[in-house]
C-alpha cells in the first residue's frame, strides 16, 4: 500500500497506478474486499494526509477535510459549528467504526443509509475535488450522489464546503432497533434565516437523500421570521405529513375507481418519516 503525505501526492500515485483504489478508514472498502466483491490491484492510503483531517473557515463556510472521522466530527467543538453533521456523525455505527470511518468515505460509498448525506444535502454542501496536476474543481454533493457528476481518473475528494448558517439545525435517525444501527429513515433539517428558508432532506428511504421542496417552501412561508420564528402549533404536524407524502407518495391510480392502499410496511415508513420531520422542525424552532 502506498501512503502519500499530501493530497497531490495521492492524486499522483492514483494517476501512476490507474488500477489502484484509495482507502481512508477502510470500513466500507475492507467489507467489500472481505466479501470478495472487490479485489483492488493496489491501495493508496489516505490516512497520513494531515491537510484533509481537519477543517478551516473560508468566506462564511467551513472547509471540512474529507479525512475527518465520524468520531472527530462528533466532538463538542465541531458540534458548535455544524450541529446536524455532528449529530449524524455520532449516530454512524459503533465506536470502532466512528473512529476509523471518514466523511469522504461516507460520501463516495453513497449508501442510502449514509448518515452524513441528508445533512450535506440540506446544507447544500459542495465538494472540492483534487485532480491531476494540482487541479481543483467544485461540484454540489447532490450532483455526485445523483450520478450527474462522477470522480474522474485520479480524482479524490479533498474537502467538503459547508455554509455556516448560525441557526438551529437537527438530524434525527430511526433504526428500528435500540443501539447503533443503519437508518431505516433519517431527517436533516436546517433553518437558513438569511434566506428565510427551511431546508429538509430525508435519508435512507431512496438511493439518495430526498428534498421535499414544496413542503420546505410552504413551511418557510408560515414562519414569522422576525418574531422569534413563531409558527402555529399544528403546523409542525402538517409539515411532517407533507414531507412524508412528498417522499413516499400514494400509489398512482390503477385505472379503477378504488384508491390503492399503501402496503403496511410502506405506511409504517411514511409515518416514521412524518414523525421525524415533525420532531425535527419542532426542535429547530424551539
Ligand X SMILES: Cc1cc2nc3c(=O)[nH]c(=O)nc-3n(C[C@H](O)[C@H](O)[C@H](O)COP(=O)(O)OP(=O)(O)OC[C@H]3O[C@@H](n4cnc5c(N)ncnc54)[C@H](O)[C@@H]3O)c2cc1C
Binding-site ranges for ligand X (CB under 6 A): 21-29, 31, 46, 66, 92-93, 97, 100-102, 104-106, 108-109, 113-115, 151, 156-157, 182
CA-CA-CA-CA torsion sign (235, 241, 243, 246): negative
Closest CA to 281 of 228, 227, 237: 237
Residue 139 Cβ vs ligand X, minimum distance, rounded to whole Å = 13
Residue 198 Cβ vs ligand X, minimum distance, rounded to whole Å = 24
Query: Which DSSP state fits 263?
Result: P
By C-beta, is 125 or 236 nearer to ligand X?
Answer: 125
Residue 189 Cβ vs ligand X, minimum distance, rounded to whole Å = 18
Q: Show the beta-strand stretches assigned E in the chain.
A: 20-23, 42-45, 55-58, 61-65, 126-131, 135-140, 156-163, 169-174, 185-192, 197-203
By C-beta, is 24 or 202 nearer to ligand X?
Answer: 24
All three cell numbers of 65, joined, read: 477535510
Distance CA 174, CA 181 (A): 9
By C-beta, is 159 or 239 nearer to ligand X?
Answer: 159
Torsion-angle region of residue 166: left (phi > 0), alpha (psi -120 to 50) or beta? left
Query: Which DSSP state fits 27?
Result: T
Contact between 25 and 100 under an 8 Å Cβ cutoff? The reply is yes
Residue 28 Cβ vs ligand X, minimum distance, rounded to whole Å = 4
**First CA to last CA across the chain, in angstroms?**
50
Residue 187 Cβ vs ligand X, minimum distance, rounded to whole Å = 15
By C-beta, is 25 or 240 nearer to ligand X?
Answer: 25
Residue 151 Cβ vs ligand X, minimum distance, rounded to whole Å = 6
Query: Closest CB to ligand X belongs to which residue?
Result: 105
By C-beta, is 26 or 193 nearer to ligand X?
Answer: 26
By C-beta, is 181 or 193 nearer to ligand X?
Answer: 181
Amino acid at each position: 500500500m502506498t501512503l502519500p503525505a499530501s493530497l497531490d501526492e495521492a492524486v499522483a500515485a492514483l494517476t501512476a497506478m490507474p488500477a489502484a483504489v484509495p482507502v481512508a478508514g477502510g470500513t466500507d472498502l475492507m467489507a467489500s474486499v472481505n466479501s470478495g466483491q472487490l479485489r483492488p490491484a493496489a491501495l493508496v492510503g489516505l490516512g497520513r494526509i494531515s491537510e484533509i483531517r481537519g477543517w478551516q473557515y473560508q468566506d462564511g463556510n467551513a472547509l471540512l477535510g474529507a479525512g475527518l472521522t465520524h468520531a472527530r466530527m462528533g466532538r463538542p467543538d465541531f458540534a458548535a459549528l455544524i450541529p446536524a453533521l455532528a449529530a449524524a456523525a455520532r449516530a454512524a455505527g459503533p465506536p470502532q467504526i466512528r473512529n476509523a470511518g471518514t466523511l469522504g468515505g461516507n460520501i463516495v460509498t453513497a449508501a442510502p443509509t449514509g448518515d452524513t448525506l441528508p445533512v450535506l444535502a440540506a446544507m447544500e454542501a459542495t465538494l472540492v475535488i483534487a485532480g491531476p496536476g494540482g487541479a481543483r474543481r467544485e461540484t454540489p454533493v447532490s450532483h455526485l450522489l445523483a450520478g450527474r457528476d462522477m470522480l474522474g481518473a485520479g480524482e479524490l475528494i479533498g474537502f467538503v464546503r459547508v455554509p455556516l448558517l448560525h441557526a438551529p439545525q437537527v438530524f434525527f435517525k430511526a433504526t428500528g432497533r435500540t443501539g447503533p444501527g443503519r437508518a431505516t429513515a433519517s431527517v436533516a433539517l436546517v433553518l437558513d434565516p438569511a434566506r428565510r428558508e427551511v431546508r429538509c432532506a430525508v435519508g435512507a428511504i431512496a438511493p439518495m437523500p430526498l428534498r421535499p421542496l414544496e413542503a420546505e417552501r410552504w413551511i418557510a412561508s408560515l414562519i414569522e421570521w422576525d418574531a422569534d420564528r413563531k409558527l402555529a402549533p399544528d403546523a409542525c404536524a402538517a409539515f411532517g405529513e407533507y414531507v412524508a407524502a412528498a417522499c413516499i407518495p400514494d400509489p398512482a391510480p390503477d385505472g379503477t375507481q378504488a384508491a390503492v392502499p399503501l402496503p403496511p410496511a410502506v405506511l409504517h415508513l411514511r409515518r416514521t418519516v412524518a414523525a421525524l420531520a415533525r420532531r425535527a422542525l419542532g426542535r429547530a424552532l424551539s
